[in-house]
């Protein structure tokens, strides 16, 4: 797949399922990271990787923190390396911030409170705290792309709380 054209991989992704989607996601992401491609082509490859990832998410029986994290991390990489684009929600820092906050199931207060004594929590809650840590891995980079305001303040607060999560 790493030698396929954008169109070939896109056609494949529309019919693929399961592990095939993961393989396609990784192949497209690899092309997005390829600095020998022009910037716009890299964005197109990144979009294709997001499509494969989102198709996996659509077919999941329950929301997957891993798939959401992959989405957030690639979007952050594009914003950092290729620049933000507020005309496209995938490359908009504000949209990424909102999507991240929407994906979190604990409030900031809940996460901070649970983080204090996380070693004594049931494994399910520890796992959920760990998911929150993974889902917020990109926030340190995102802060610098956000305009001052309530969303940025929430992101900054999560970056501080994230340090205490297991």
Residues 113-132 have pLDDT tens digits of: 999 999 999 999 999 999 99
Predicted confidence (pLDDT) per residue in 24-77, tens digit: 999 999 999 999 999 999 999 999 999 999 998 777 666 678 889 999 999 999
pLDDT of 136 > 90? The answer is yes
Contact 123, 57 (CB under 8 A): no
Q: What is the mean pLDDT of residues 78-90?
A: 96
Instruction: Give dist(CA 17, CA 112) in Å, integer.
Output: 38
pLDDT of 100 > 90? The answer is yes
Instruction: Give dist(CA 47, CA 55) in Å, integer.
Output: 12
The beta-carbon contacts of 90-98 under 8 Å, at least 24 apart in sequence, are 90/46, 90/47, 90/50, 91/43, 93/142, 93/145, 93/146, 94/146, 94/147, 94/151, 96/72, 96/138, 96/142, 97/142, 97/146, 97/151, 97/152, 97/154, 97/155, 98/151
Residues in the chain: 166
- The mean predicted confidence, pLDDT, of the chain is 94
């Amino acid at each position: 797949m790493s030698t396929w054209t954008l169109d070939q991989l896109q056609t494949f992704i529309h019919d693929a399922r399961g592990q095939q989607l993961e393989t396609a996601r990784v192949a497209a992401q690899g092309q997005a990271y390829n600095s020998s491609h022009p910037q716009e082509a890299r964005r197109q490859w990144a979009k294709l990787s997001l499509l494969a990832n989102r198709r996996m998410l659509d077919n999941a029986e329950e929301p997957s923190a891993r798939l959401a994290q992959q989405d957030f991390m690639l979007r952050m990489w594009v914003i950092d390396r290729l620049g933000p684009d507020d005309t496209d929600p995938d490359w908009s820092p504000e949209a990424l911030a909102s999507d991240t906050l929407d994906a979190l199931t604990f409030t900031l207060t809940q996460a901070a409170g649970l983080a204090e004594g996380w070693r004594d929590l049931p494994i399910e809650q520890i796992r959920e705290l760990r998911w929150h840590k993974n889902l917020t891995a990109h926030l340190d980079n995102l802060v610098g792309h956000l305009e001052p305001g309530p969303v940025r303040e929430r992101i900054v607060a999560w970056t501080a709380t994230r340090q205490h999560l297991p």
